[in-house]
Amino acid sequence: MKLIIKDGIVIDGQGFNEKADILIEDGKIKGIDTRISLNDAVVIDAKGKYVFPGFVDMHTHLRQPGFEEKETIKTGTHAAVAGGYTTVACMPNTNPVIDNEVVVEYIKSIAEKEGYCKVMPIGAMTKGMLGEEISEMAKLKDVGVVALSDDGFPIMNSGLMKRIMTYGSMYDLLMITHCEDKMLSGEGVMNNGIISTKIGLRGIPHEAEEVMLARNIILAKSTGARLHVAHVSTKDSVELIKRAKAEGVNITAEVTPHNLCLTEDIVDGFDTNTKAYPPLRTREDVDALIEGLKDGTIDIIATDHAPHTKDDKKVPYDIAAFGISGIEIAFSVVYTYLVKNGLIELDDLVNYMSIEPSKLLKLSHGFKIGNDADMTIIDLNKEFTVDVDNFKSKGKNSPFNGQKLYGTVEYTIVNGKIKFKNDGNYQENNV
């Protein structure tokens, strides 16, 4: 029951960056050393490859129960391990909504049986995510919900939001907020700006995000709630968060790979795979988001993996579903666009995708003796062309389709078990 990852370059996202061997026993990390040899261990040759602590996604849509045509816990977690993720927190916009213990238990049991990686449900802030009554937060926490969110249904009622934060802070629950003033975004389907003006699509102004973010910051400040800002997309949002952090507000923030790497320009041509909320913004915003990551204003990268069917996207832009399927190429996208271009460091990327999110979810994670053996082995020198038809996810909706990216996930190990191996096939390998 022993596994050794041999000769890989181990990066833990916390400053350790050396060639080392990792010994895994009984699903736990048993040793990290320059050279580990055992006669009775299975050896994975990681020579020339990189070994990272498994990625942790704070923002995944697994769609089950209710929208199994878009994704299931099985396919979504398969996609996750194919992308190097070992833990995903799944959003509550299922049907039924994750607003009670039964749905939480259901998701946990399916994940246990069919899942490839660890699944941590996020509970709804309000019953049915209807923005009317607060959910049974204490009960939800007791069955293992790691955070609360009403996801894409921002709570427009400020009084209610304050009550949610006040009540939730009794249980130290992380409040994940999708910041959008629906009255400002209106019927918008893309960033409001030059491209929307050119091609006649209704715009979502950047203020729609900032107005709501500012309100949530003010409420977090007065209630002391742990506020986490989902998918930051604008330059001024970065400024607002920076200021809030300086004032001591209990706030963290995430950014998606697509908002970090793509701009609104690719919407010109009406490709519905570019449609997401928040929308792809401008170069100026992208630059500010990268700076925000580097200076610690933005804490983590989260995928907002949002799989949809082809029919959901094979419609005019106005009525196409919002969302991008991206968990299995998230690392490669950011590595290719940002690390390869010298904009961020590889060690930091591992931190943003693995260590920081694990801290937000209060997990014991990373390369420490005794921790669960959750890791991924990536070949950074290997180039591949994104082909959505090869996605493990049911969602083929990616604007990166056809692009050449670097960094292939070779192995993903969860609890010491190989849950993904890059030969195209999942290996059931009980080590």
Partner 1 sequence: MKMVAALFFNEKKGWFEMIKKDVLGIREMSKEDLIEILDTAGKMKKILVGDKNSDILKGKTVVTIFFEPSTRTRLSFEMAAKYLGAHFGNIETKTSSVVKGESLIDTVRTVEKMKADVIIVRHNMSGAPHLMAKYLDVSVINAGDGLNEHPTQALLDLMTIREKKGFFDGLKVAIVGDIVHSRVARSNIWGLQKLGAEVRLAGPATLLPKTFEKLGAKVYYDIDKAIYGVDVVMGLRIQLERQKNGLFPSKDEFSKYFGITEERMKLAKKDSILMHPGPINRNVELTSKAANATYSVIEEQVTNGVAVRMALLKMLCERRESNEINY
Options 48-56, 190-198, 232-240, 414-422: segment touching partner 1 (CB under 8 A): 190-198
The two three-digit tokens of residue 159, written as one number: 């009084």
* Residues 124, 240: Cα–Cα separation, whole Å: 25
Q: Which residues pair with 149 in a beta bridge?
A: 176
Distance in angstroms (rounded) separating the CA atoms of residues 240 and 292: 11
Kindly state whether residue 202 participates in binding partner 1, applying the rule CB under 8 A. Answer: yes
Question: Nearest CA to 92 among 172, 152, 144?
Answer: 152
In this structure, the chain runs to a length of 431
Q: Output 40 or 187, the one with its CB closest to partner 1.
A: 187
Interface with partner 1 (CB under 8 A), residue from 50, 55, 277, 317 = 317
Q: Which stretch binds partner 1 (CB under 8 A): 61-69, 310-318, 332-340, 357-365?
A: 310-318
Among 7, 14, 270, 347, binds partner 1 (CB under 8 A): 270
Under rule CB under 8 A, residue 269 binds partner 1? yes
- The stretch among 6-14, 131-139, 309-317, 331-339 that binds partner 1 (CB under 8 A) is 309-317
Shortest Cβ 398–partner 1 spacing (Å): 17
Based on the shown chain and the rule CB under 8 A, indicate whether residue 320 belongs to the binding site for partner 1: yes
Give 296 or 316: the residue with its C-beta nearer to partner 1. Answer: 316
Q: Which is nearer to partner 1, 358 or 397 (CB)?
A: 397
Q: Are 125 and 145 in contact (CB under 8 A)?
A: no
| Shortest CB 314 distance to partner 1, Å | 5
| DSSP assignment of 287-337 | HHHHHHHHTTSS-EE---B----HHHHSS-GGGSPP-B--TTTHHHHHIII
- List the one residue from 115, 193, 257, 278 that touches partner 1 (CB under 8 A): 193
Place of tokens 């009550």: 163
Does the protein bind partner 1 through residue 319 (CB under 8 A)? yes
The three-class DSSP label of residue 172 is coil
Max CA-CA distance within the chain?
A: 67
Q: Does 402 bind partner 1 (CB under 8 A)?
A: no
Tell how strand 147-149 and strand 203-204 pair up. Answer: unpaired
* Residues in a beta bridge with 28: 25, 372
What are the respective helix, strand and coil percentages of the chain, to the nearest 5? Answer: 35, 25, 40
Among 15, 159, 200, 424, binds partner 1 (CB under 8 A): 200
Q: Choose, by CB under 8 A, the member of 15, 34, 248, 311 that binds partner 1.
A: 311
User: Is residue 67 a contact residue for partner 1 (CB under 8 A)?
Assistant: no
- Take residue 341 and report the two structure tokens written for it: 């271009």
Please say if 312 is a catalytic residue: no
283 binds partner 1 (CB under 8 A): no
Stretch that binds partner 1, among 86-94, 169-177, 200-208, 405-413 (CB under 8 A): 200-208
According to the binding rule CB under 8 A, does residue 296 interact with partner 1?
no
Q: Under the criterion CB under 8 A, does residue 138 sit at the interface with partner 1?
A: no
Number of residues that bind partner 1 (CB under 8 A): 18
Nearer to partner 1, 166 or 309 (CB): 309
Taking the C-alpha atoms of residue 229 and residue 227, their distance in angstroms, rounded to an integer, is 6
Shortest Å distance, C-beta 197 to partner 1:
4
Q: In the bound complex, what is the minimum distance in angstroms from residue 320's beta carbon to partner 1? A: 8
Say whether residue 35 binds partner 1 (CB under 8 A).
no
Nearer to partner 1, 195 or 405 (CB): 195
Q: How far apart are CA 142 and CA 135, in angstroms?
A: 13
Taking alpha carbons only, the member of 24, 21, 19, 16 closest to residue 32 is 21
State in angstroms the smallest separation of the CB of 151 from partner 1: 22
The answer to whether residues 407 and 336 touch, using CB atoms and an 8 Å cutoff, is yes
Regarding 194 and contact with partner 1 (CB under 8 A), the answer is yes
Q: What are the structure tokens assigned to 37, written together?
A: 């040899």
| Whether 312 contacts 320, CB under 8 Å | yes
| Least gap, CB of 270 to partner 1 (angstroms) | 3
What string marks each residue from 336 to 355 as x (binds partner 1 by CB under 8 A) or -? Answer: --------------------
Single-letter residue type at 129: M
By C-beta, is 69 or 133 nearer to partner 1?
69
3-state secondary structure of 248: coil
Tokens of 373: 């053996």
Helices (H), 148-193: 158-169, 182-185
Q: Which residues are catalytic?
A: 304
Which residues of this chain interact with partner 1, rule CB under 8 A?
193-194, 197-202, 269-270, 311, 314-320
